[in-house]
């Protein structure tokens, strides 16, 4: 049985997500140490972006979200790779303003609605698109986009689901070389991925390179 959002909660969630994604790029970052957090956030901020996703793949994630929210109040901070209700609760308590998942977990989706937490489920099939839409979700993460066919896949499903007013954030296989191809599609609201702040750049503390890559990406889509 579906659990649709209330109209007011749905509008609030939609407004926040559209504000967070207005620059059309969502950098996803995985942190392994607290001392990486603020330099990376500062590098992304200096490059001109006002949004980032912190992946819940390590024990540092909740701390990282709290640190970024405290030091960069202008930054929209999302929690990514939320696979359980426990992780979602941790993300909300840490101050995450929205969340994402790589797949469609009905329990996690219902928990997000219960807490009026703006949430972006992951999908990769028409059935998952329809199920999430029935629950009231209008922005979906397409993952892994590249392996599913990328731009070709999104073009193929656009006409079938235009009536649902669904928009996608392709992630997985997205890079600086194809972001304009994705963003040219009417059913794509933003692109995401880890290519702006890779683990290698963070480990090497090449924060200036992260800033440079953010600037290049933003200039490309302008």
Quote the CA–CA distance of 176 and 150 in Å, as a whole number.
14
Which residues, 6+ apart, have CB-to-CB distance to 161 below 8 Å?
Answer: 129, 133, 187
Instruction: Find the DSSP H helices in the chain.
Output: 7-20, 34-47, 61-71, 85-94, 106-114, 126-135, 145-148, 151-161, 179-183, 199-203, 207-221
**Mean pLDDT, to the nearest integer, of 168-177?**
97
pLDDT band at 187 (very low <50, low <70, confident <90, very high): very high
Q: Is 130 one of the annotated active-site residues of the chain? A: no
**Mean pLDDT, to the nearest integer, of 80-102?**
98
pLDDT higher than threshold 60 for residue 8 = no
CATH superfamily of 7-221: Aldolase class I (3.20.20.70)
Active-site residue among 11, 53, 200, 220?
53
Active-site residue among 24, 36, 138, 141?
141
pLDDT digits (tens, 9 = 90+) for 26-74: 999 999 999 999 999 999 999 999 999 999 999 999 999 999 999 999 9
What pLDDT, on the 0 to 100 scale, is given for residue 11? Answer: 57
- Domain positions in the chain are 7-221
Q: Give me the percent of the chain exceeding a pLDDT of 70.
A: 95
Q: What is the pTM of this model?
A: 0.93
pLDDT digits (tens, 9 = 90+) for 40-53: 999 999 999 999 99
**Mean pLDDT, to the nearest integer, of 90-99?**
98
Name which residue leads in pLDDT, 6 or 200.
200
What pLDDT, on the 0 to 100 scale, is given for residue 22? Answer: 97
Dihedral angle over CA of 116, 120, 124, 128, nearest 10: 20
**Mean pLDDT, to the nearest integer, of 153-178?**
97
Q: Is 74 one of the annotated active-site residues of the chain? A: no
């Amino acid at each position: 049985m579906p659990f649709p959002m209330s109209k007011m909660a749905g509008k609030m969630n939609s407004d926040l997500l559209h504000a967070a994604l207005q620059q059309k790029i969502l950098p996803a970052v995985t942190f392994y140490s607290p001392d990486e957090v603020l330099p990376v956030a500062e590098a992304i901020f200096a490059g001109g972006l006002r949004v980032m996703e912190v992946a819940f793949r390590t024990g540092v994630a909740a701390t990282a979200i709290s640190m970024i929210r405290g030091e960069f109040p202008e930054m929209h901070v999302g929690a990514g790779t939320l696979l359980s209700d426990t992780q979602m609760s941790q993300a909300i308590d840490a101050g995450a303003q929205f969340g994402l998942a790589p797949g469609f977990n009905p329990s996690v989706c219902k928990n997000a609605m219960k807490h009026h937490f703006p949430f972006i489920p992951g999908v990769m099939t028409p059935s998952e698109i329809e199920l999430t839409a029935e629950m009231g979700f209008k922005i979906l993460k397409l993952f892994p986009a590249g392996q599913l066919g990328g731009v070709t896949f999104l073009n193929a499903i656009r006409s079938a689901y235009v009536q649902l007013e669904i928009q996608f954030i392709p992630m997985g296989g997205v890079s600086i070389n194809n972001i304009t191809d994705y963003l040219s599609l009417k059913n794509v609201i933003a692109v995401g991925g880890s290519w702006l702040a890779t683990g290698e750049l963070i480990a090497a503390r090449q924060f200036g390179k992260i800033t440079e890559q953010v600037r290049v990406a933003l200039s490309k889509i302008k």
